[in-house]
Chain A
Amino acid sequence: MLKPERISAAVYRAVLDMHVRLPRDVGTRLEECARTETGVGRRVLEHILRNVGLAGEQGLPMCQDTGLMWVFLQVGEELSLHGLKGSVSQGIAEAYRDGYFRASIVQDPLSRRLNTGTNLPAVFHLDLVPGRKLQIDLLAKGFGSENCSRTAMLQPTAERAEVIEAICAVMRQARGAPCPPVVLGVGLGGTMDYAALLSKRALTRSLADHHPDPYYAELERDACAAVNALGIGAGGLGGSCTALGVAIETSATHIAGMPLAVSVNCWADRRARIVLEEET
């Protein structure tokens, strides 16, 4: 039995921390960029690093847009648990309250747009996996970058270069709006909705990880280089540091198509992974 209070406590700690401290791989990439970038983009990266330092020292969120919480649950089929979504939601709401994070969620999209005040509900996805573990992947998705995310239904005959071009097209349209240097999550295959889900799952990966298939790992590197050659730069003020990384997740798809989705994330790449095991 995995107790609900264990789950909510783990989510609470992860959410409090993710807004105040960057994942180590992201911090390291930003520092590398600040050393290599020239021109105005360098000033942007210097301010970003100062901001990250201040946030950590003072316990303030790095960015006021503390995002919409996206949750991916991988539930071991042999686990016994109850109230899973409720305990995750409780951890989120308590962390937003205690962290003085901005509540950014409105109840409905069009008719009234009333702020729920708790940053709930989160967006949940669920998968069942073998075993007795629960893995919770969390993204706090800022919407300056999310508004730049796109899907495209490519032709089944599309070449590698067309996939890279479709990824570049998303950033050409986004320019400085999503707070570059960005992290791009790419979903390729499946259906339109599944490609979109894969693009978010790609954002849960560390920048140090690559696609297990060398073909796609190379595509990740080449797509990243192509985006960095666009000249958008940090803050959209010009330069060679536009993307910190491109992560691609792939899936089987239909003979007639090649769905592509790109989730754009800002440099404030707020993600966390929690793994809980049932006590035996």
Chain B
Amino acid sequence: MKKLRVPLSNPAALRAGDEAVLSGTVYSARDQAHKRLVALLDAGRPLPVDLGGQVIYYTGPAPAPPGRVIGSAGPTTSGRMDAYTPRLLDAGLAGMIGKGYRSPAVVESMRRNGAVYFYAYGGCGALYAQCIRAARVIAFAELGPEALSRLEVEEFPVLVAIDAAGNSILA
């Protein structure tokens, strides 16, 4: 079990199959936020957050019950972000957390950019809610659960699904 800080200091050192817990800062973004981020890149405008070296978690959390910082917050299907991901990797994104496989174009872009894809345990929203210590909306608030948010995570369990060399443990 590796204990890793996020943002990652050396994503290229991780190997597919490594079991890890992540602590630090990640950003949540899913379908509509990806569409908007790439639209900003296309327009040559700045992103609401510098993605250099950062990790994006594909999640759309449930509302926070009273006394909690977030509701259930498990991973969503990564493949829906594939059309947008190479652009974000080229903009400096270093890691992604989600469930399901990635397209060959994403894996190729990961190799070129030295990025890593983590598998988070699918459907385990209640478990991941325990690992999120703070959540703050950064942009696209009108998207509700799909807003771009900054999450402080602690001992967030993942597996390295695809490493920066393109090795994969996904069936």
Contacts and interface: CB of A to CB of B under 8 A. Distances in A.
B116 interface: no
Interface centre among B60, B62, B63 (most CB of A within 10 A): B62
B17 A62 contact: no
A236 interface: yes
Given A40-B169, A64-B71, A236-B171, A176 B101 contact: yes
Interface stretch (A70-78, A95-103, A215-223, A248-256): A95-103
Given A40-B169, A176-B101, A268 B123 contact: yes
A164 interface: no
Interface stretch (B7-15, B73-81, B88-96, B133-141): B73-81
A58 B124 contact: no
Contacts of A115: 144
B80 to A, nearest CB: 8
Contacts of B59: 64
B171 to A, nearest CB: 4
A179 interface: yes
A66 B99 CA distance: 17
B151 interface: no
Interface stretch (A43-51, A186-194, A204-212): A43-51
B24 interface: no
Given A43-B19, A64-B72, A236-B100, A51 B171 contact: no
A102 B63 contact: yes
B122 A64 contact: no
A64 B64 contact: no
Give chain A's interface residue range (CB within 8 Å of chain B).
35 or more
Interface string A217-250: 0000000000000011101111100000000000
Given A63-B72, A102-B71, A179 B122 contact: yes
B53 interface: no
Interface string B94-138: 000001110000000000000000010111111101100000000
B62 A177 contact: no
A37 interface: no
A176 B171 contact: yes
Contacts of A238: 169, 171
Given A54-B130, A60-B71, A175 B170 contact: yes
Contacts of B71: 60-61, 64, 100, 102
Given A103-B145, A175-B101, 10 more contacts: A50-B127, A51-B126, A60-B65, A64-B72, A100-B71, A144-B77, A176-B101, A176-B171, A233-B171, A236-B100
26 contacts: A40-B169, A47-B157, A51-B127, A58-B126, A60-B71, A60-B72, A60-B126, A62-B126, A63-B74, A63-B123, A63-B124, A64-B59, A64-B125, A65-B125, A100-B65, A100-B71, A102-B62, A142-B123, A175-B100, A177-B101, A236-B99, A237-B159, A237-B161, A237-B170, A266-B123, A268-B123
